[in-house]
Amino acid sequence: MSLIRKEIRRGVARWIIDIRYRGKDGKRRRFRRDAQVQSRGAAEAEARRLLTQLAETGSLEVSSNERESEAPITVDEAIQHFLLVEMPKKKPSTQRGYLAILDSEIRPRFAERPIGDLNKDLFLRLDTELAESGLSASSRRNILVVLRRVLGSVVDAGWLEHLPPLPRLPRVGRKVARAMTWEESVAILEHGTDAFRLGALLARDAGLRASEVRGLRWTDVDLNARTLTVRRAICQGVEAAPKSGHERVIPLTGELFEALVEAPKNKHQPWGPVAPCSHGTIWKESGLRAAFQAACARAGITGWRFHDLRHFFVTDLFRNGASAPVVQKLAGHEVLTTTQRYAHANDDECRAAIAAVTNKRRNTPAR
């Protein structure tokens, strides 16, 4: 017989511990209460602790003082709660990243540690350890963010009174980015397969992410208005909203419009994928990446990813005079600072800007 079960109370699921036993006096007794941490794993762990107590003392009756000395909630139990309550709210790609961090970095270090032991000093020592292992500031920041999220979920559940004082997250410096040239983008498209080319064009000329290419359907394309609407993304076979969380409408370039008009008409099913793989189905997770790398190899080009086609789209908008808010809207960036990271200026453009200032000053008479 199971010692735990899930009940629905006022629309909210609750894990219940329910143990029937005979007391020291031989009478039948029943111990029933909500699990301290509301996740299956935590409830099972609590039930096991109670069975151990029953075997040692013959009773599950506890005084208020004994309750205060019960085994503290561990980080692993907090993680189980986070996975049950908070993880389903996150996008599939985010879930994958969180799970990787939890399993590789957090559980091995802190699984059995009481959550009350997590403090500023521990976070600082963890960050130092991660830095000494060679992890970048960005990777260290991601690990600490996940640990903060787990703690936050436990505070929300009432198992921890408040978040402990925590240090600032590692600062991530801005990298000097570079963008693909127009000639490189053309060569990659020319050396790609027919199935790959339309997906690549959607990334280069409309700024779609790989997940958004997989999620684009013919119902999202309006050839009369010459627009497409990004409504969904498909990651690991799971459909979700775009990364920004909202839809965006993108006007079609001439080349993309022609490619969509010329796309095989037998695939124009309302809910069919706009840019399927050669089998007529949605690309697998690694399919577009592999097709992109194959096209690059045939073109003799190295150093780029499929996402750099989207990167080119954003950079090209800036090069052609688009304002940052317009680029933000077309790219589907949640915040403007993300957009501004794509506003590349190469060395020639920097020299040209200074030359323009110099020429203007020369031609402006002094007052």
pLDDT digits (tens, 9 = 90+) for 280-301: 899 998 899 999 999 999 999 9
Q: Which residue has the higher pLDDT, 256 or 57?
A: 256
Q: Is position 127 within any domain?
A: yes
**Same domain, yes or no: 192 and 279:** yes
Q: Is position 189 within any domain?
A: yes
Residue with tokens 């090069």: 319
Q: Is position 354 within any domain?
A: no
**Same domain, yes or no: 231 and 287:** yes
**Same domain, yes or no: 207 and 302:** yes
The residue out of 30, 58, 86 marking a domain boundary is: 58
In angstroms, the CA 345 to CA 176 distance is 10
| In the predicted structure, residue 118 carries a pLDDT above the cut 60 | yes
Question: What is the percent of the chain with per-residue pLDDT over 70, rounded to a whole number?
Answer: 87
Compute φ and ψ for 251, nearest 5 degrees: -65, 150
**Same domain, yes or no: 209 and 142:** no
In angstroms, the CA 21 to CA 88 distance is 36
Q: Is position 355 within any domain?
A: no
* CATH label of the domain that carries residue 251: 1.10.443.10
**Same domain, yes or no: 213 and 316:** yes
**Same domain, yes or no: 89 and 153:** yes
**Same domain, yes or no: 32 and 149:** no
Compute φ and ψ for 122, nearest 5 degrees: -65, -40
Q: Is position 258 within any domain?
A: yes
In angstroms, the CA 106 to CA 76 distance is 9
| In the predicted structure, residue 65 carries a pLDDT above the cut 50 | no
Q: How many residues does the chain have?
A: 367
**Same domain, yes or no: 42 and 110:** no
In angstroms, the CA 233 to CA 216 distance is 8
Query: What's the DSSP call for residue 125?
Result: H
**Residue 34 sits in which domain range?**
4-58
**Same domain, yes or no: 212 and 301:** yes
Q: Which residue has the higher pLDDT, 35 or 258?
A: 258
* Model pLDDT for residues 3-54, shown as the tens digit of each residue: 888 877 555 677 888 888 888 777 778 788 888 888 888 888 888 888 888 8
CA-to-CA dists, residue 81 to 43, 143, 151, angstroms:
10, 18, 10
The residue out of 157, 191, 211 marking a domain boundary is: 157
pLDDT of residue 68: 39
pLDDT of residue 36: 84
Question: What is the percent of the chain with per-residue pLDDT over 90, rounded to a whole number?
Answer: 35
Phi-psi region of 26 (alpha: psi -120 to 50; beta: other; left: phi over 0): left
pLDDT of residue 349: 63
* Model pLDDT for residues 79-97, shown as the tens digit of each residue: 988 998 888 888 888 888 9
Number of independent structural domains in the chain: 3
**Same domain, yes or no: 266 and 211:** yes
Q: Which residue has the higher pLDDT, 331 or 229?
A: 229
Task: Work out the pLDDT band at 344, boundaries 50, 70, 90.
Answer: low
**Same domain, yes or no: 188 and 316:** yes
* Identity of the amino acid at 282: I
| Beta partners for residue 28, in sequence order | 22
**Same domain, yes or no: 221 and 311:** yes
